[in-house]
Every structure is written in C-alpha cells, then in structure tokens.
Amino acid sequence: MMASKTTTAARQLVARAVAARQSTYLSSIVTKTCQRASFHTTQHILNTTTEKKNFAENISKQFIGYVKKQRSNQTKAFAEPSRFVAIDSLPPTATTEDVYKLAREAFADGDKQIIETVFCRNHEFNFTGRCIVSLSTAEDARRLIEYGHRRVLGGNTLKINYTGNAKSDVSSVMSQHRRSEMTSLTDNTSASGRAVIVTGLPPRTQPEHLLGYLRSRNFFPVEGAPDNVLHLKTKEQSTVAKFLVKFDSESEAWRCVRTFHNTDFLLKSKQENYRLQLSVAY
C-alpha cells in the first residue's frame, strides 16, 4: 500500500515537471513568435516611413526643378534690361494709381522711382490693357518686374517685362506709345488723368456742339486750347460719336464722369435719347 502511494506521488511529480517544462517551452515559443511579429511589424513601419520620405523628397526635388526651370525661362525672357517696363493684361478700369500702388509695394521708399506712365490705346482710342512705365534706373525696373510679374489686379494676371533698351531715350520711348491726342498742342504736356472720353452722342455731333453743351452744365474744358475737345475715330457704320475732352485737373475730369456717365442725351430735333458713356483717359 505504501509502495503504491509512493509510486503515485512520484508519477504526479513527474507529470508536474513535464507540464512545467511544456509550459515554459510554449511560453518561449509564444515570446519568440511575438518578437518575430514585432520585428516584422517594426521593419514594415520603417520601410513604409522610408518610402514616404523618399516619395516626399522626390516630389520636392521635382517641384524645385520646375521652379528653377521657370525662373530660368523668365531670366531668358528678361535678358534685355532697361529703364522701361511694359505692364500687360491690365483691367479696363485700371488707372495710374494702380501702377503707383504696385511700385509702392515693390520699393521700400515709395513710388518716386516712377518717372512717367503711358496707357496704350488703339486707333479707336480704346485701352489695350498695356501700360509703359519709365523708371529711374534699370535696377528699379528689375525690382518692379520681380515683384509685380504674375500678380493679380482686378481679376487679371499681370505680365511685366522690359521694353526698349539701355540706350533708349525717355521722351522717344514714351512718345512712341502715347497717342498724339493726349498731348496738348499749346504746351506739349500730357493730358493723362485730366482728359475724358465721351461716347454715345449723336453721330453728327461736332466738337463745338459738345463744348456748348458742357458749358451750359457748368463744365469748362481747358480755356484757350484749340484741342480741348477732339473728335475721335469710331468703327465704320458706328451709330454714335466719340470725343476726347481735356480739363485743367483730374478732379474736374472725374466730376464730369460722375455727372454724365450712364445718363441720356436728348436729341431734340428727333426726340431721341442717346445713352452716354464716360471714362477718364490715362
């Protein structure tokens, strides 16, 4: 009986030892499996992070390359520096103040680098969207180009480039682009900003008719100037006339625009109304 109990106890001890060994073995296997899984997961994360980093670096390099190419193309386009720049794609409502504001933003000391501006017009005296600017130096022109090129004004993306060359004379370049109607016959000064374009009058209207009409409404164009009211060209078969009226000041020109723009002119002989369109010419 005692021998049987001893044998049973021995077997139990052996069974416990075997169970403990198996448990330790299984624990070791689980630990190694988890370690391997953790290693592979970490490796995958590292690989993914590296791939993302490489992808970002490639995109960054491509973008930098594109920017360098664009700048290179712009440098080639701006290879003839001068004191003159041409601003293209200006909106129809642009004024010289828009150009001066651009200069004030480009230069730390304001807009004093601008000598003169000319707004280009076609043979029908319509604004083409281009303005020629004369600056003090070629360096000033470069700074204005670098700041203003491709900036947005009035919904339009501006294009600014050099015009003329280093040897160009200011008066010759500006006179080339300025319409002769904008220059006074008496003192050879520019009427930019103080001249008004009047469109919409009856086709047979003459300068003296418009002059009398303005004076009757207390508006007095430049006194003593033979070209204070000019008949402008219009399209063939146009049913209205167009005039350029020169005043002594910009404030008087704008007062005229505010008074008559979008108003009706009554042609009494036919009892017909003509809608007037006025704008200040720069």
pLDDT digits (tens, 9 = 90+) for 85-100: 999 999 999 999 999 9
For range 151-156, the mean pLDDT: 97
pTM metric for this prediction: 0.70
CB hemisphere CA count around 162 (13 angstroms): 22
Topology of domain 195-281 in CATH is: Alpha-Beta Plaits (3.30.70)
Can you list the alpha helix ranges (DSSP code H) found in 78-123? 96-106
CATH of domain 84-178: 3.30.70.330
For range 128-156, the mean pLDDT: 97
Q: What is the residue-wise DSSP string for 89-136?
A: S--TT--HHHHHHHHHHH-TT-STTEEEEEEEE-TT--EEEEEEEEES
Domains 84-178 and 195-281 alike in fold: yes
* Whole-angstrom distance, CA of residue 47 vs CA of residue 39: 12
117, two tokens? 């501006």
- Using only C-alpha atoms, the chain has a radius of gyration, in whole angstroms, of 41
Q: How confident is the model at residue 110 (pLDDT cuts 50, 70, 90)?
A: very high
Q: Let me know the angle formed at the C-alpha of 45 by 44 and 46, rounded to the nearest 5 degrees.
A: 90
pLDDT at residue 98, as a whole number: 98
Going by C-alpha positions, the residue among 276, 278, 279 that lies closest to residue 264 is 276
Q: Where are the domains of the chain?
A: 84-178, 195-281
Q: Let me know the angle formed at the C-alpha of 255 by 250 and 258, rounded to the nearest 5 degrees.
A: 125
Sign, CA dihedral 201-202-203-205, equals negative
